[in-house]
Amino acid sequence: MAQDDDPRTSPRTAGRARRTRRTAVAGIALVPLLAVGGCTGGGGASAPAAVSGPAGQEAGTATASSQETAASAGSQAETLEDSYQRVIRQVLPSVVEIRTGSGLGSGVVLDDAGNIVTNAHVVGTATSFQVQFANSPTSYPATLVGTYPANDLAVVRVQGAPDLQPATFGDSDEVEVGSLVLAMGNPLGLSSSVTNGIVSATGRTVSEPPSEAAPGGATLPGTIQTSASINPGNSGGALVDLDGEVIGIPTLAAISPEQGGAAPGIGFAIPSNTAEDIAGQLIRDGRVTDSNRAALGVSVTTLADRSGQPAGVGVVSVEPGGAAETAGMRAGDVITAVDEQPVRSAAELSAVLAGLSVGDAVQVTARRGGDEQVFQVVLGELAVG
């Protein structure tokens, strides 16, 4: 949906990549982002009033060392502040506000041609937009270049905007946990807002709820978890390192199931490598021609048990010549595990597949009638378009 404040989402389990295991977010809900002191002692012998000789020299040295440490800490703090200010000056002109008829989000300028990457749920079903740049009262028209809801990414192209400043994208594969980052965007419509935090985790697989762009929801592999505060309106903005490079596109934030409100310090961003890859295809071809995501080649639905709880994934149809059909699967089968990981719903199946690679050979366990069968499946590629 274009309004970036939908509180629905459901995290799911994750699968295993060919070389690395992706972790998944479980037990929390997600929402797309379319906005020493001491004390003195007593009761003992008094300390000497003065210390002479070597002891006095050591005390003096310790005091000087303490002063130097304090000065060093102050210098480091100033350096970090300078780094933040430098990065903000460098990147903020590349981060824009995108408005549709029903909501707003953010975007990042990709090139001098006016192409801007954002989230598919920001654009929704709209094809025309208004784009506003940082610290500018003027908005400019933009049109849709293409959208790929499976990765919640889209590209729009702004017209007539002068002095475009494309952002520099970093290598998200090199991102390390603990790295300092800034999140830039337009949370709650507050344009050009910046928050700071760290990279809390990498390789998270998260699931989005249904939206206008993706009625069946979307499963996002390999996301970057960050403690930088992100809120509705941040969707499509920039997660930036201290080199001034965009390493992710903020997309989701966690909400507390108990409190029903935002869970501070838990947000997720699509890796920059994924964003550049998908955006490049949309710009070049108007659609995605290579998803790089594994698929079984089936249409499925979630089945429920007598209590209404998810109990398996029913195969509605099988793609002719696809991975599942080649392995002997057929409509009516009920998938219960993939790659030795239980799946109870279509969302869980998507999450497992998101952690696997095209060409991986995996076991798929399914019920057919009253019998359990195991199929050896070589995974195909998620449909593009």
Phi, psi of 269 (to 5 degrees): -130, 140
Longest CA–CA separation in the chain, Å: 92
Burial class of residue 57, CB neighbours in 10 A (0-12, 13-18, 19+): exposed
Write b or e for each residue in 145-179: b if 16 or more Cβ atoms lie within 10 A of its Cβ, otherwise e: bbbbbbbbbbbbbbeebeebebbebbebeebeeeb
Give the residue carrying structure tokens 């050591």: 58
Q: What is the rounded distance in angstroms from the CA atom of residue 368 to the CA atom of residue 382?
A: 24
Give me the catalytic one of 4, 6, 152, 339.
152
Write the CB contacts of 363 (distance below 8 Å, at least 6 apart in sequence).
337, 338, 339, 340, 374, 375, 376, 377
Give me the catalytic one of 4, 94, 106, 121.
121
- Residue 110 and residue 96 in contact, taking contact as beta carbons nearer than 8 Å: no
Q: What is the rounded distance in angstroms from the CA atom of residue 340 to the CA atom of residue 362?
A: 8
Give me the catalytic one of 207, 235, 291, 345.
235
Beta bridge partners of 141: 130
- Whether 152 is catalytic: yes
Q: What is the rounded distance in angstroms from the CA atom of residue 385 to the CA atom of residue 381?
A: 12
Residue 320, both tokens: 């002719």
Annotated catalytic residues are 121, 152, 235
